[in-house]
Amino acid sequence: MNTSVFAFIFTMWVLILVGGGFLVLFIGPISFVGTTDINPMLNSIIKVIIALILIFFWVLILTKIKNWIFQKQIKS
Amino acid sequence: MEQLIIAAIITIIIGFFSVYALTPIVIKALEKRNVTVIDVNKKEKTMVARPGGLSIIVGIISSLIALYFFFPIAEILAIAITTGLAFLVGIIDDRKTMGGWFKPLALAFCAVPIILLGAYDSNLDFPLFGSVKIPMLYLALVIFMIPITGNTFNSIDVLNGVVSGVSTIAGFALSISLFILQNYEIAIACLLLAFVSLAFYRYHKFPSKIFPGDSGALVFGAMYGAIAIVGHVEVIAAVIILPAVINSFLFLSSVKKVVEHRQIKNPISHTEDWKLRSTLENHAPITLVRLLVARKPLSEKQICTEIFKLAIFSGILGIITACLMGVELS
């Protein structure tokens, strides 16, 4: 059984749960409207940019794990 | 509840047996017209009928029409139209191999009926933490969802029985999740996907008598994506198909651009006893199959079994996620 691939799937699942939590608890409630004179549309755009940055880190982590698993599989 | 059970039984019988009965006819018709391709993973270079999307779409549409008679709701109509359009995109790609961007763009248009029929909810639900309301962003998610699931299913259609087997497992796992969340009508629609996939798997499993082709794989993927949206189970649906998502992710992170999968270097080669092994070519993409055979060569049947184990594992994670949907951390 290829345990490292199962571990990879499990890691992705945990990242989805944690990412979802971060989105709901922190990014969703952020509001720049009120404190300054920012348009609600701009407010949404800023949130999307934050979410995209998070996705970038998410993909970066997964790419590192993928390369590590592949190298480990080849060496064993 | 009685009506739900009757609807489920009737529509499943229609879907399952129309694919089960029609597929051998499609195989004969394709073989008669010489519409076959070489099964590259067989030593004997067997010719296999392709595409089998026609029998799949007939089974899905006929059973969805029957389901619509029981429950005339926009959600079922949206699933049927989106899946039908995805079949058209697939059949065009089967007849003439289009560029890498054709399928994502064409599949994006397939999501339009979901928006026009208003068969979506702009809340995105997450387990443990509740939901976020993203009206504008959700429209983009609807447009992106069908190309993503369509191409994700299409990218795992590389070995005998894999895409239909994964679709069966994913369909059952997602319908269990929908039953847990008490979304019964869409759960039955998802059960149809599982049974139609199972009926096609009978002919697609190792050694394949027919390949689904783009028309078949895109139908599986688009229907799965449409169910995820109209059933409000986007996150659960993503978790359930994680092995296929990983395959797409590995592929894209290796190739770093959107290309038709037939245009890239084959990431696997064959041993003398015709097992599959990772190619020594450095520039070939790392796919799920390459990852599975990186340690040691495996037979095609062994790889299929490994992928099914991963699909079942993800299905269980998806069902756990559905159970966590009702739980909120305070």
Identify which of B136, B286, B290 has the shortest CB distance to residue A44: B136
Compare all CA atoms of chain B with the CA of A17 and give the residue at the minimum distance. Answer: B127
Task: Flag whether residue A21 sits within 8 Å of chain B, measured between CB atoms.
Answer: yes
Would you call A68 an interface residue with chain B, using a CB distance cutoff of 8 Å? no
Identify all chain A residues contacting B249, using CB atoms and an 8 Å cutoff. Answer: 59, 62, 66
- CA distance to partner chain A, nearest, from residue B326 (Å): 14
Residuewise pLDDT in 10s, chain B (330 residues): 888 999 999 999 999 999 999 999 999 999 999 999 998 888 888 999 999 999 999 999 999 999 999 999 999 999 999 999 999 999 999 888 777 788 889 999 999 999 999 988 888 888 888 888 777 778 888 999 999 999 999 989 989 999 999 999 999 999 999 999 999 999 999 999 999 999 999 999 999 999 999 999 999 999 999 999 999 999 999 999 999 988 887 777 766 665 555 556 677 888 888 888 887 776 777 788 888 888 889 999 999 999 999 999 999 999 999 999 876 665
∠ CA B325-A55-A26, nearest 5°, is 55
Distance, in Å, from the CA atom of B164 to the CA atom of B220, rounded to the nearest integer, reads: 8
CB B19 within 8 A of CB B196: yes
Coil, strand or helix: which one is B133? strand
Is the CB of B328 inside 8 Å of chain A's CB atoms? no
Give the Cα separation of B219 and B223 in Å (integer). Answer: 6
Calculate helix-pair angle for B300-325, A3-22, nearest 10 degrees: 30
Q: What is the pTM of this model?
A: 0.91
DSSP state string for A32-43: -BTTB---HHHH
- What is the torsion angle, in degrees rounded to the nearest 10, for the CA atoms of residue B222, residue B226, residue B227 and residue B228? 100
Interatomic CA distance for residues B149 and B237, integer angstroms? 10
Tell whether B146 lies on the interface with A, counting CB pairs under 8 A: no
**Chain B residues inside the 8 Å CB shell of A46:** none
Give alpha helix (H) positions in chain B: 2-32, 53-70, 74-95, 102-110, 112-116, 135-155, 162-180, 184-204, 213-230, 234-240, 242-255, 288-292, 300-325
- Which residue in B295, B309, B314 is closest to A73 by CB distance? B295
Contacting B residues, span 52-91, partner chain A, CB-CB under 8 Å: none
Q: How far is B255 from chain A (nearest CA, A)?
A: 13
Q: Please tell me the distance from the alpha carbon of residue B184 to that of residue B182, in angstroms, as a whole number.
A: 5
**Interchain contact, A74 vs B127, CB within 8 Å:** no
